[in-house]
Amino acid sequence: MAAVHSSLHMTRSLHMTSKVLRCRAHCRGTRAPLSSSGFGFGFGGFGGLNGFSYGFSARALFVVGHDGQDHELGGCGLVCSWLSSPSHVPSHVHHHLKRGRALSHHQHALRAMSSLSSLRSTRRFNQSTVRSPGAFQSRRSSSSSSSSSKTLSSLDAHGSSFASPSDFLDQNDEADTESHIPGMASSTSPSASKKLVNYADGMSDEQLKAVLAPDGAVSVKAGPGSGKTRVLAARAAHLVTNEGFMPWQVLCITFTRKAAGELRDRLKTFLGAETASRVHAGTFHSVCARILRREVENRLVLRKTGRTADFVVFDAGDSIGTMRQVLEEQMFFTPKQSLETAPKLISRLGRERSFGEMPIMRRDEVQLYVEAKNRYERALIASNAFDFDQLLSHTSMLLRDDPDALRDYRERWPHILVDEFQDTNSIQYDIVARLAGARSTTAADVGMEGGKKNDVRASSLFVVGDTDQAIYGWRGANVENMRVNLSRDFPAVESLHLSANYRSTPQVVRAASGVLSGQSRGNLQQSRANFSIRAHRPSGLPVHVGSFDDDVTEADAISREAMWLAEHRGVSYSDMAVLYRTNRQARSLEAAMASRGVPHIVVGSTSFFQKKEVKDVLSYLRLASNPHDTSSFARVLNVPPRGLGPKALDEVKKLAAKRGMSAASMVLAFDGAAWEPKGELAEAVGARVAKGIRDFRDIVQSVAESANRGDDASDVVRLAIDRSGFRDWLLPDVGTSKGKKMSKDKLDENMKRWSNLDNLVDVARGVQAAVLDDDDFLREDVSGDADENGGSNTLADFLERIAVFADDSQDADEKDDQAVRLMTLHSAKGLEFDVVFLCGMNEGLLPHAISLNDDDGIRSKEMRVNEERNLAFVGITRAKSMLYLTHHKTSSASRFEGSDALPSRFLDDALRGLKEVGVGDDDTWFLYQ
DNA sequence: AACGAAGGGGTTTTT
DNA sequence: CCCCTTCGTT
Ligand SMILES: Nc1ncnc2c1ncn2[C@@H]1O[C@H](COP(=O)(O)OP(=O)(O)OP(=O)(O)O)[C@@H](O)[C@H]1O
């Protein structure tokens, strides 16, 4: 162990590179024909995933207007004056405080959960490390006075004299009621209770000040666990409860769907389920998709983009597929050189998922790239599709170029609240800045034309964030939005700070601060606020550090510990999380947990909706909804196999191109349309293929009919599955008797797939319910033109929801209540857990090797490494009570990890301000505090 | 056209 | 070690 320890202190050099490669940025600037597409939206970019599109779109965004039309702020300047302390809460707030008293059991549990504090300082530590598993089983004592007299007989988590789970993880006084039920995981379903909690309950002065800040632009910069999200939710509640706004006049923008869900849960406790569901809460992408769905046929600037209200949202896979296809086509039309370069580009696309990431150096490649980009955009138009980036860029364009639209949306959302603002990209910033009347975006401002009076005030903007938690720079996020752009564009912005961390024990906070203190000097200055952060909770358990030979041993130790905590300390599995850098790391963890019988669930990118068979079935629905969806068409024309291989697809495409229509719509009209030149297609492809095409057409048509009839989504899904013959394909035994040759493995896999499809029917029901439930969004109450598209677009709405707003939480919410959460650091953002295992803390993994390479021409190494640091910071600060940091030397999972990986520099930094205070009883964990 | 076997190539994070 | 592509066989 001594060796491990000393290795933690190896000196490391941060190669600070002042060289920021301008090459690519320059290329972008010069060759990007911003409006060359002829549709006025040339800044959309590819694939939606990269720095590229944001990179050069930013150029376009801020050249607008300098007439400096002022944005009136506030009007409520007095509000915060009566708020210097909670006792000065105005009477109507008091009223709610009183109402809030009558808490249900459930809410007690809720409050207990959300405020698990830390170990009482009266506890004494000693060095005994004897584990006494049985001792914990005793009934809990119900008052803080009795528990405060207990002593902790170990520095280790395994000490023996705890009386209850809550005593173990600790709690504050609020939690010290009768709410210490072992099943703590139920905290996120407040629906059981009808009693409301007052939003001001238990808030600090500075939090309340933020909640009640006057209209205008407000920016709350504060560290992790300081209550930013809580403040944001409380402000939304405040606006509705006390400021007279209708719930749908408040737009809350979060970063992930999960975050939106959590926000809504909090709102429910403040406002009740009914009112809370009327508040508009979504991600940037989901909000933009809603706007476009509504506006794309109504506003001239959007009509020019050639989509209809039935447009489909292309996900990453669709975008990649389209790009590939574009490049393949292009090989026939470009100089010979391209024949060599294009396959290279294509193969890179498979990995890197965007053109933006590719270092392009040669002139012919540049040519190819520009051409491909234009073709790609045309392909999206032909498919009646927007990709992820375009959802944002087109919304931005709408607000920039259509003053009426800008006015309408300002009117619709007098208040816009944005969480995790440090991770907004330039276009997202532009969207909210326009709505909020930013100085540099007011040129196209509202109401000045046609003699109309400008009677609509810009939306008030309220943003919260933490620049030290910026982890999406690789995707185009720009911390400068929070750091400087906001005060540049909103000179009267009120900047607020929250100084206490309510989430974590001082031990955890200290470790987190240590990580930041290791930053390079420039960044250090900027994040000063975060390592002087004050832990509100009393002292807790030491940070546990483990070092292991390989990832399997590491995973096993974590599993063992999780089980021990669950069985002997009463910690619910669902209150534990294992966080890691790469999805791949989930494998060994899953295996270890499975073999020990630790219930677990992998949260994240292997989403249910990403599964092949699920996407296949949904493609049928997509075609039914939007017959131009070439991506879906190519995907399922021959799935399940019906004799329509690559050749057939090719023929169909050729003929479609000749007729100037999309392949999908041609096939769907096969034999059916008056203009269809009889027999031309059949002749081109041959009789057998023609039959396959007719079959395919019939399937899609029956699905479309079902949808148009207004059948439930789950019925439409079931029909698609049945008609397309997935069952006979996956499980041939059932239908025909040709199942002899299928191997056992294959059969197992197919059965899994089939059960996924079975699930899809149920999941569809849930998704549709969610659409109906909280998506009256752009349907009612705006200019009185309710439901103008209503009905006909419901399948599109359903599919949009899945594309833009779906994760696997459908599963997670219900049946995995008692399971350890495994997820990447990125997906853990904004969440919190009693116990956090941050694993794989070695050089090469965290920071990831790819961030340690020399400058890649896009972002400097320093920037990338600092983002990795932020990632470690985010991970550590997810922990409420217990933090485990682990490292492994070798990994079977990757042949790129060396055989003796050093512990992460961030592990080093985290422990720098702590002292080693003991060793666990089995020599697995080393304790620091 | 369909399916299985062999080979080659790759570091990551996600709305 | 895993995924994807390509090649070869039925
Ligand atoms: N005044 C308070 N008293 C007690 N607990 C609080 C208070 N404010 C916030 N908390 C709790 O602290 C925890 C962190 O709050 P929240 O998630 O809002 O922080 P955050 O600033 O958004 O964190 P992060 O940036 O890490 O996502 C939550 O459990 C919340 O309930």
pLDDT value, residue A182 = 29
A103 pLDDT higher than 90: no
Average pLDDT over residues A816-822: 86
Average pLDDT over residues A408-429: 95
Whether ligand 1 lies within 6 angstroms of the CB of A258 is answered as no
A397 pLDDT higher than 60: yes
pLDDT by residue (tens digit) across A735-748?
Answer: 455 545 667 778 88
Average pLDDT over residues A415-444: 86
pLDDT value, residue A879 = 97
Nearest ligand 1 atom to the CA of A203 is 1
Q: Do the Cβ atoms of A87 and A229 come closer than 8 Å? A: no
Q: Do the Cβ atoms of A822 and A578 come closer than 8 Å? A: yes
pLDDT value, residue A927 = 96
Q: Do the Cβ atoms of A233 and A194 come closer than 8 Å? A: no
A306 pLDDT higher than 90: yes
Nearest ligand 1 atom to the CA of A222 is 21
Nearest ligand 1 atom to the CA of A226 is 21
Q: How confident is the model at residue A543 (pLDDT cuts 50, 70, 90)?
A: very high
Is A213 exposed, middle or buried, given 0-12, 13-18 or 19+ CB atoms closer than 10 A?
buried
Give residue A265 CA to ligand 1 midpoint distance, Å: 14
A906 pLDDT higher than 60: yes
Nucleotides of C under 7 A from a protein CB: 1-2, 4-5
User: What is the total residue count of chain A?
Assistant: 929
- Looking at the DSSP bridge assignments, the partners of residue A219 are A463, A495
Average pLDDT over residues A275-297: 92
pLDDT value, residue A135 = 28
**Residue bearing tokens 């073709």:** A375
CA of A351 to C1' of B10 (A): 8
Q: How confident is the model at residue A141 (pLDDT cuts 50, 70, 90)?
A: very low
Q: Specify the 3-state DSSP secondary structure of A889.
A: strand
A841 pLDDT higher than 80: yes
**Rounded distance between C-alpha atoms, residue A102 and residue A97, angstroms:** 10
The answer to which of A341-355, A602-616, A677-691, A763-777 has the lowest mean pLDDT is A341-355
In percent, the amount of chain A with pLDDT more than 70 equals 67
pLDDT value, residue A334 = 67
Whether ligand 1 lies within 6 angstroms of the CB of A164 is answered as no
- Nearest protein residue by Cα to C1' of nucleotide C1: A893
Q: Which two tokens stand for residue A161?
A: 């004299």
Give residue A230 CA to ligand 1 midpoint distance, Å: 6
pLDDT value, residue A897 = 66
In percent, the amount of chain A with pLDDT more than 90 equals 42
pTM given for the model: 0.78
Residue A243 sits at the vertex; the CA angle it makes with A239 and A246, to the nearest 5 degrees, is 65
Q: Do the Cβ atoms of A850 and A607 come closer than 8 Å? A: no
Interacting residues of A376 by C-beta distance below 8 A, sequence separation 6+:
A46, A322, A323, A326
Q: Specify the 3-state DSSP secondary structure of A653.
A: helix
Interacting residues of A715 by C-beta distance below 8 A, sequence separation 6+:
A706
A229 assigned to a ligand binding site: yes
Interacting residues of A204 by C-beta distance below 8 A, sequence separation 6+:
A227, A498, A500
CA of A869 to C1' of B10 (A): 25
The answer to which of A503-507, A703-707, A898-902, A919-923 has the lowest mean pLDDT is A898-902
Q: How confident is the model at residue A51 (pLDDT cuts 50, 70, 90)?
A: very low
pLDDT value, residue A651 = 87
Mean of all residue pLDDT scores within chain A: 74
The answer to which of A99-108, A779-788, A868-877 has the lowest mean pLDDT is A99-108
Q: How confident is the model at residue A367 (pLDDT cuts 50, 70, 90)?
A: confident
Average pLDDT over residues A349-378: 70
pLDDT value, residue A478 = 92
Q: What are phi and psi of A359, to 5 degrees?
A: -70, 115
A259 pLDDT higher than 70: yes
DSSP A74-88: -S-TTGGGGGSSGGG
pLDDT value, residue A95 = 35
Nucleotides of B under 7 A from a protein CB: 1-4, 10-15
Q: Which nucleotide is nearest to A607 (CA to C1')?
A: B14
pLDDT by residue (tens digit) across A204-241?
Answer: 999 999 999 998 899 999 999 999 999 999 999 999 99
A672 pLDDT higher than 50: yes
pLDDT by residue (tens digit) across A501-528?
Answer: 999 999 999 999 999 988 766 555 555 5
